[in-house]
A and B are shown apart, each in its own frame.
Chain A
Amino acid sequence: MITYDAIVIGSGITGGWAAKELTEKGLETLVIERGRNVEHRKDYITEHKPNWQFPLRDARLAVGTQGAQEYPIQARTGQFHESVKHFFIKDHRNPYIEDKPFTWIQGDQVGGKSLIWGRQVYRWSDLDFEANLRDAHAVDWPIRYADLAPWYSYVERFIGVSGERLGLPQLPDGEFQPPMEMNAGEKFVKAGLERAFPDRRLTIGRVAILTQALNGRLPCHYCGPCERGCSTGSYFSSQSSTLPAARATGRLTIIPNSVVHSLIYDAAKNRVTGVRVVDTTTNETREYSSRVVFLCASTLATTRVLLNSKSARFPEGLANSSGVLGRYLMDHHFVVGASGAIEGLLDRYYQGNRPNGIYIPRFRNLGDDASRRGDYVRGFGYQGGASREGWARGGSEAGFGVELKRKLHDPGRWTMGLTGFGECLPRADNQVQLADQTDEFGIPLLRIHCTWGENELAMRKDMAASAAEMLEAGGCKEVRTRDAYKEGELGGEPGLGIHEMGTARMGRDPRTSVLNAHNQAHDVPNLFVTDGACMTSSSCVNPSITYMALTARACDYALGELKRGNL
């Protein structure tokens, strides 16, 4: 068995960070990745390709289309297009059982979903870290904003975040590069909205895309579809940022095409001593050992590994003496909001494909009387943007011929949309378990049970109504609300937010949580979980930067513990 100082399972957003931190601190580190290798630049095979070079013109490959045949689950997200299909997993390689609709979107490559993520980054605040304690759901976080604030800064300085400082307590400012510009429609709506609601702000999205050069990475050139890969490294991905840093230390080894079956546990030492891997090309089993293991395989994959690592000491899954492993699964609920049209501004336009939208920070249940809601707890934020209608409107209106062609020569009217992203309460009955069936690698399938609860459904009503109210206040006409969620159907189901989190939560008490304040398993000192599985509550903001900050902080702690001889 080959031995390393550290093993990191997964090479996505958190695995890349763990690899960078651990190697830079001097540890010989092995990164185990289930998917194929993807090399920065060389493997961005669709980057900058014009649409006419795609046989289907970069069609969305929806469920039921021929291109979705091997991807019946991945095709549920509208992000699944002809141009980025190769960065999603073929579903037969990651089968699971859904009791109710739950969409599990996965990458299957080095870099994981960091290649195709939404890149929106927002710090949590104590409104989030104290939420469970304040309204008595689940358990209290073992950390507060002050514990994580320096690590947010550390991460932001490395990944590069552009955004506007607002001074809001519920959405702390970070180390920002200059913000991207809002367009004329957004500026127009912002003015009316902030006049009508002085407590609300409309800002440009805070995004892990450079507006200034950083560490050899170039500022964004506004080609548009980041998710095809970016040769200038303008958005943060493992490929553009963390893996090169780790590689530069000379202490990084990455093995792709290796899915982790389980962790090997030594009860006498009470330590994880190794990792059991199935080679996805040969189906052969291999083992690796290390002094410390970081699980960064993505929320559900991580918990699946733990559940499948059974021993006499841990018959229900490794580090699961509490029995909460697999429970308290969350996602953000969305696909709810409003859109409307702006009259006028027809002499205003924009240039460049800005891969970013606007953001309206949370304004409900902030702890004061004015923002308190009686019908639900927690809150939501909006993402959205304005644009002028393009040629696509030609297919949805009557008329053809020279008249139609002449009409589509000019852009149409301005429209503006807002989509809410809402916090999901941690509930014990939203959970994953191992099923009896196994996949082609001999690993038991996950059975996923997850539904939106009453709190989410009550919040959605406000998310639609408030979006409409703000658009109207912002001067929009023909405002329409929409909510795509239908119980038991696809459209707004859990998982679709691709912010799945929880199932191996952090907490103060080993009897009710899996991980401590440093993402270290209460039960097994040399085991760390720093991806979304660790989350104790969900906030309403995009989670990735919090995972990154937690990972960097946990690596720092693990190094200290190694030096102190505690691991």
Chain B
Amino acid sequence: MSRASITRRQALEQAATLLGGALSAPTVAGVLSTATRRAWAASPRWTPRTLSPAQLELVATMAEHIIPQTDTPGARAAGVHRFVDTLLSDHYAATERDRFLAGLADVDARAQSAHGQPFARCSPEQRIMLLKEMDARAYASGRGDDGWFFRRLKELTVVGYYTSEIGAMQELHMSPFGAYRGDIPYTSVGRAWS
């Protein structure tokens, strides 16, 4: 998510407080709104509104490498690529959207120059090699503009995955409604709350 200014919410979040809460648990499975269906439902009729089919596949491929399927589904199954298309279409300002799209193009350019084909057609080993390079550069000290795209893609993958039903309910779990207990053994919970 973009952060244009420091605000109370951020101040409190960054200060790691729980004021305002972060996530809510579902009561009953609600009826999805039209907008939500458009954005989320993995219906065969869903089509991207900003990404081309090739770009969509590139995002899905990279995201699945970042959060892969294990004993629970990964980023592709959770629809991270659809989340990214929705953000690009309905959330980002044009300049930020274009910067992200340029970042995608750059990934393919790197893949071309290193392996002679676009990222999605590289072998898994080649892709992981490219991703390792990008990851190392993105999180090296200094955090320059150079690594902006990969940091953003990884943030979006993490947000998109862990706020999806798969990420929030299968991989992690949601705190049940009821009492608040502030000091319990972690072993009684076993995995992070989403």
Contacts and interface: CB of A to CB of B under 8 A. Distances in A.
Interface of A: 47-67, 76-81, 118, 180-184, 186-187, 205, 220-228, 334-335, 337, 339, 346-358, 383-392, 394-402, 404-406, 408-411, 415-419, 482, 484, 490-492, 496-498
Given A181-B183, A350-B184, A402-B68, A225 B2 contact: no
Contacts of B8: 77-79, 334-335, 496-498
Given A77-B9, A339-B14, A398-B136, A385 B19 contact: yes
Contact of B162 (A65, A180, A391): A391
B163 A60 contact: no
B154 A400 contact: yes
Contact of A385 (B17, B86, B158, B174): B17
A-B pairs with lowest CB-CB distance, top 3: A78-B9, A417-B15, A224-B21
Contact of A348 (B32, B67, B178, B185): B185
A383 to B, nearest CB: 7
B54 interface: no
Nearest to B62: A400
Contacts of A225: 20-24
Given A118-B20, A400-B131, 5 more contacts: A50-B26, A66-B92, A354-B182, A398-B135, A419-B17
A67 B23 contact: no
B165 interface: yes
Contacts of A52: 40, 163-165, 168
Interface string B27-68: 100101101101110000000000000000000000001111
Contact of B178 (A51, A67, A352, A384): A352
Contacts of B14: 339, 417, 482
Interface string B135-149: 110110000000000
B113 interface: no
A51 B168 contact: yes
A392 B163 contact: no
Nearest to A417: B15
Nearest to A415: B16
A383 B180 contact: no
A51 B189 contact: no
Given A48-B25, A50-B26, A496 B20 contact: no
Residue picked from A50, A221, A398, A402, most chain B C-beta under 10 Å: A50
B2 A65 contact: yes
B119 interface: no
A47 B86 CA distance: 22
B12 interface: yes
A348 B167 CA distance: 23
Contact of B158 (A224, A392, A417, A497): A392
Contacts of B70: 402, 405-406
B17 A383 contact: yes
B108 to A, nearest CB: 19
A222 B17 contact: no
Interface residues of B, number: 90
Contacts of A184: 182-183
Nearest to A411: B192
Contacts of A346: 186
Contacts of A390: 22, 162, 192-194
A381 to B, nearest CB: 14
Contacts of A410: 186, 191-192
A350 to B, nearest CB: 5
B93 A348 contact: no
Interface centre among B11, B155, B158 (most CB of A within 10 A): B11
B30 A49 contact: yes
A340 to B, nearest CB: 9
B171 A409 contact: yes
Contacts of B26: 48-50
Given A224-B24, A399-B135, A400-B66, A409 B192 contact: yes
A158 B145 CA distance: 54
Contacts of A383: 12, 17, 19
Contacts of B185: 347-349
A353 B40 contact: no
26 contacts: A47-B24, A48-B24, A50-B23, A53-B30, A55-B39, A60-B9, A76-B5, A78-B9, A78-B11, A81-B9, A184-B182, A187-B182, A187-B183, A224-B21, A225-B24, A349-B186, A387-B16, A387-B17, A392-B162, A395-B154, A395-B158, A400-B65, A401-B68, A409-B192, A419-B11, A498-B8
Interface in B97-152: 128, 131, 135-136, 138-139, 151
Contact of B182 (A64, A186, A392, A402): A186
A228 B24 contact: yes
Contacts of A411: 186, 192-193
B87 interface: yes
A411 B30 CA distance: 28
A56 B68 contact: no
B189 to A, nearest CB: 5
B87 to A, nearest CB: 7
Contacts of B7: 76-79, 335, 491, 496
Contacts of B6: 335, 484, 490-492
Contacts of A65: 2, 91-93
- The winner among B65, B163, B171, B187 for most chain A CB atoms within 10 A is B163
A457 B1 CA distance: 30
B5 A79 contact: no
A57 B16 CA distance: 20
A48 B163 CA distance: 14
Given A62-B4, A339-B16, A182 B182 contact: yes
A419 B15 contact: yes
Contacts of A417: 12, 14-17
